[in-house]
């Protein structure tokens, strides 16, 4: 099943075409990686999928439902597509305990009070955190732990898709590997779809079944990860392949 279908999306900011006829499909239980250098339109695409950025034209379907561009996304669909942000220490409210952040997120999603405790415990367990962390403040957490909390927050409403926007870019390599493992396991065990956005092809290739390469708002190449790595069709993809950093090991054992 296609959980996200983006077709011919366009978005301009003045003279800049941030998205120029971009199409993308994310299927259930699969990870689609979006890669491109800074300014290629990755975040604009991610924000459009999350209903946070109004495209000028094109179409967006989530779980088969057509989304009215510029309209308010129905709550159930908003709940089914959740963001894992770049640096959770900036996006988790420093004045709220983990519990309050999770509660706040669940309240915004219309989740009943009676369900919240169990959901919070379940979501923390899914990212291998004990309920002790409910009482921690973001400032007390390392980058890797804070990112696990951000993933747990994204999971509390039982979404179908996680949109990970540079979700490991702020982390050290060993911690990146751990967070990538958490995301891979969630995808495999819960049949989650991931839209994994990164400027770093080395990270994207490790987690993605398919890759879409963006450049200046346009899709230059899309295909199965192995095909793109083995035989890139576009010179820009070849450049990205040449420029990639050493990939993070998928079994890291440090915590930062
Ligand atoms: N709100 C905005 N107002 C004006 N221009 C914008 C806005 N948002 C994005 N842009 C421009 O659109 C283009 C695409 O930006 P976007 O942030 O989507 O790229 P990106 O690939 O995510 O880059 P980065 O990794 O640096 O965030 C850039 O040229 C950017 O300057």
ipTM of the complex as predicted: 0.96
What is the distance in A from the centroid of ligand 1 to the CA of 71?
A: 22
Question: Which H or E run includes 117?
Answer: helix 113-126
Pocket test for ligand 1, best of 15, 19, 39 (most atoms within 8 A of CB): 39
In this prediction, residue 70 carries a pLDDT of 77
Nearest-angstrom CA–CA distance, 72 and 79: 13
Nearest-angstrom CA–CA distance, 59 and 206: 29
Q: Give residues (CB < 6 A) around ligand 1.
A: 13, 16, 18, 36, 38-44, 199
Give me the residue spans of the domains in the chain: 2-243
Residue nearest to atom 29 of ligand 1 (CA): 39
CATH 2.40.100.10 fits 2-243, yes or no: no
pLDDT 10s digits, 9-18: 999 999 999 9
Q: Does the pLDDT of residue 103 top 70, yes or no?
A: yes
Query: Once rounded to an integer, what is the mean pLDDT over residues 196-202?
Result: 93
Q: Does the pLDDT of residue 113 top 90, yes or no?
A: yes
The pLDDT-based confidence of 61 (bands split at 50, 70, 90) is very high
In this prediction, residue 68 carries a pLDDT of 85
143-155 vs 113-126: helix axis angle to the nearest 10?
130
pLDDT 10s digits, 222-237: 999 999 999 999 999 9
Q: Does the pLDDT of residue 215 top 50, yes or no?
A: yes
In this prediction, residue 90 carries a pLDDT of 78
With beta carbons less than 8 A apart as the criterion, state whether 175 and 255 touch.
Answer: yes
């Amino acid at each position: 099943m296609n959980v996200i279908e983006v077709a011919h999306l366009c978005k301009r900011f003045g003279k800049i075409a941030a998205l120029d006829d971009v199409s993308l499909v994310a299927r259930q239980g699969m990870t689609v990686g979006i890669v491109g250098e800074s300014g290629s339109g990755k975040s604009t695409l991610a924000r459009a999928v999350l209903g946070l950025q109004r495209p000028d034209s094109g179409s967006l379907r989530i779980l088969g439902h057509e989304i009215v561009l510029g309209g308010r996304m129905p709550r159930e669909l908003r709940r089914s597509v959740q963001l894992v942000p770049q640096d959770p220490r900036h996006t988790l409210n420093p004045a709220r305990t983990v519990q309050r952040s999770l509660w706040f997120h669940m309240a915004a999603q219309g989740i009943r009070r009676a369900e919240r405790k169990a959901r919070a415990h379940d979501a923390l367990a899914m990212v291998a955190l004990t309920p002790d962390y409910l009482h921690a403040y973001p400032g007390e957490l390392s980058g890797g732990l804070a990112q696990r909390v951000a993933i747990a927050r994204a999971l509390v409403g039982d979404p179908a898709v996680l949109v990970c926007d540079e979700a490991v870019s702020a982390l050290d390599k060993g911690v990146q590997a751990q967070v990538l493992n958490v995301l891979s396991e969630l995808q495999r065990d819960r049949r989650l779809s991931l839209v994994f956005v990164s400027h770093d092809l080395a990270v994207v290739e490790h987690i993605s079944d398919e890759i879409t390469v963006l450049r200046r708002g346009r899709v230059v190449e899309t295909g199965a990860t192995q095909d793109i790595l083995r035989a890139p069709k576009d010179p820009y993809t070849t450049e990205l392949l040449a420029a990639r950093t050493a990939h993070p090991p998928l079994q890291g054992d440090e915590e930062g």
